[in-house]
Amino acid sequence: MKKFVLYILTIAMIVSIAGTCFACSSKNETTATPTATQTTTATATATAIPSVNGSRVRVATTTSLYDTGLWTYLKPMFEEQYNLHLDIISQGSGAAVNLSKTGDVDVMAVHSKAAELQFVADGYGVERIPFAYNYFVIVGPASDPAGISGMNASSAFNKIATYGITQFVSRGDNSGTHTAEKNVWKGAGLNYSEISASSWYVSAGKGMGDTLFMASELGAYTLSDKGTYLSYASNMSLTILVEQGKELLNVYSVIAVNQSRFSWINIAGANDLIEFMTSNETQQLIADYGVDTYGQSLFFPCFGNEPTQ
């Protein structure tokens, strides 16, 4: 009898311990620290991470403004002047616009006019405000096998397509530069779908810097904003063959994300960044940026007026 009771007590103890371990295991699984992927996914919901006490401003920006070092140059000045921390997310303009549509940033600075106007028209953004511009350039090997040097952009693209031997490397990433490239093909009277399927056309699917290096390695042509090209030129075998002209105008704008659409947006911080970028002092800093290093400005300030050519 005693042995039977002892046996029953032993079984009960084992069941109790197992139940406790299962509960502990379940609790640990529930309260486990989220992974980076889980955290990123959470920020895209209706309770996206707000700027902590309004002390942070999140900006989605095109790669050309970041890769040229302009944001690195301006960021500490903005943070000191407004006592705010600036979080910079660098992507192609298409990706930056899409990120802004989820309310995961407070403001965007991009260079894709049609997409920007649509962003505001659809109620995602408050107002499109141009703050700087430069020009796209068509670059390629100094030997210029297609013979495009000195032409206007559409004539040069026509010549490249007709030549059809030396490769053309496209960003192929729905960025502002990729959109501008497609507009030039259209202006040349060419069907982009047919062009992009050509054997000599290479879609990189990368940012401007990587696209330039790929073109350099292949001895190919590509379209680049001038600022990024100048930043990387010393490390590549590419030269500017076509520049200037209305077709190649490249305007950068800043747009606050609409707080009425996403309640957590730090609209005060977004407006502070817009005020900073369009102030006479910062506009002059933009005008001077790059002169000491490259002998010319990488960007031109708008001083309140959008350029048309």
pLDDT in tens, 94-103: 999 999 999 9
Residue 148: the pLDDT is 97
Q: 208-236: per-residue pLDDT in tens? A: 999 999 999 999 999 999 999 999 999 99
Are both 52-133+251-301 and 134-248 of the same fold? yes
The whole-number pLDDT of residue 170 equals 97
- CATH number listed for the domain at residues 134-248: 3.40.190.10
More confident residue, 20 or 36: 20
CB neighbours of 205 closer than 8 A, spacing ≥ 6?
171, 172, 173
Structure tokens at 107: 């403001």
Q: Is the pLDDT of residue 59 over 80?
A: yes
Flag whether pLDDT at 28 surpasses 50: no
- Long-range contacts, 65-69 (Cβ 8 Å, 24+): 65/90, 65/109, 65/252, 66/90, 67/207, 67/208, 67/209, 67/228, 67/231, 68/227, 68/228, 68/230, 68/231, 68/290, 68/298, 68/299, 69/231
Give the DSSP H or E segment for 223. Answer: strand 221-225
Among 246, 243, 219, which Cα is nearest to 229's?
A: 243
DSSP, collapsed to helix, strand or coil, labels residue 28 as: helix
Domain locations along the chain: 52-133+251-301, 134-248
Q: Residues 120-144: what's their mean pLDDT?
A: 97
Domain 52-133+251-301 top-level CATH class: alpha beta
Q: What does the pLDDT average to over 237-246?
A: 94
